[in-house]
């Protein structure tokens, strides 16, 4: 029985016309699967490779190079919180923000809370220096953050 639903497969196939060949769809396919499953299981790597007509090792190479994607033994929480650690954010409290969140949630960068609600990550730069310190919650950037404002966001 396939791991990837027909809907996920169709979303991947919809990327084919946008690129010069199927191999170029590797990264978009990984994002689609990761967003849906909150990880990229080995079975999904094999199914993506089959769709793209390449070897599963090529999918895994891309996945491991970017270090963005989680493997099935460490799935993402419902919310992925990236704390920016650029110089601007560091100078305006980003390190303290990270430390307080890590303490509050009892996790470190790359880990997920026991209840699966939050995964905490470092980001090298989110490009929102004027609003430092900033975080990315899933795909939304939030600026001028405090531990309290992050907690409010997660609760919503």
26 within domain boundaries: yes
Q: What is the pLDDT of residue 148?
A: 86
One domain, residues 61 and 13: yes
> What value does the mean pLDDT of the chain take?
93
Q: What is the pLDDT of residue 81?
A: 93
One domain, residues 111 and 60: no
Q: What is the pLDDT of residue 2?
A: 87
Whichever domain contains 103, its CATH number is 3.40.30.10
At 73, the pLDDT band (50, 70, 90 cuts) reads confident
Assess whether pLDDT exceeds 90 at residue 154: no
Q: Which of 66, 89, 111 is the last residue of a domain?
A: 66
- Number of domains, the chain: 2
Assess whether pLDDT exceeds 90 at residue 65: no
How large is the average pLDDT for residues 76-105?
Answer: 93
Closest C-alpha to 1, from 63, 59, 51, 43? 43
One domain, residues 38 and 84: no
| Full-model pTM | 0.75
Whichever domain contains 30, its CATH number is 1.10.10
One domain, residues 86 and 20: no
Query: Which residues constitute the domain of residue 28?
Result: 6-66
Q: Which of 33, 66, 99 is the last residue of a domain?
A: 66
Q: What is the pLDDT of residue 67?
A: 73
Assess whether pLDDT exceeds 90 at residue 44: yes
End-to-end CA distance of the chain: 36
Q: What is the pLDDT of residue 29?
A: 98
């Amino acid at each position: 029985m396939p791991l990837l639903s027909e809907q996920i497969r169709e979303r991947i196939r919809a990327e084919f016309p946008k690129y010069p060949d199927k191999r170029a769809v590797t990264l978009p396919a990984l994002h689609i699967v990761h967003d849906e499953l909150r990880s990229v299981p080995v079975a999904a790597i094999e199914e993506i490779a089959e769709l793209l007509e390449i070897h599963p090792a090529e999918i895994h190479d891309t996945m491991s190079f970017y270090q963005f994607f989680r493997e099935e033994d460490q799935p993402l929480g419902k919310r992925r919180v990236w704390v920016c650690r650029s110089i601007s954010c560091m100078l305006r409290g980003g390190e303290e923000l990270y430390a307080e969140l890590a303490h509050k949630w009892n996790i470190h960068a790359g880990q997920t809370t026991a209840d699966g609600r939050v995964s905490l990550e470092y980001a090298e730069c989110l490009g929102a220096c004027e609003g430092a310190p900033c975080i990315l919650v899933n795909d939304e950037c939030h600026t001028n953050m405090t531990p309290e404002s992050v907690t409010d966001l997660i609760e919503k």
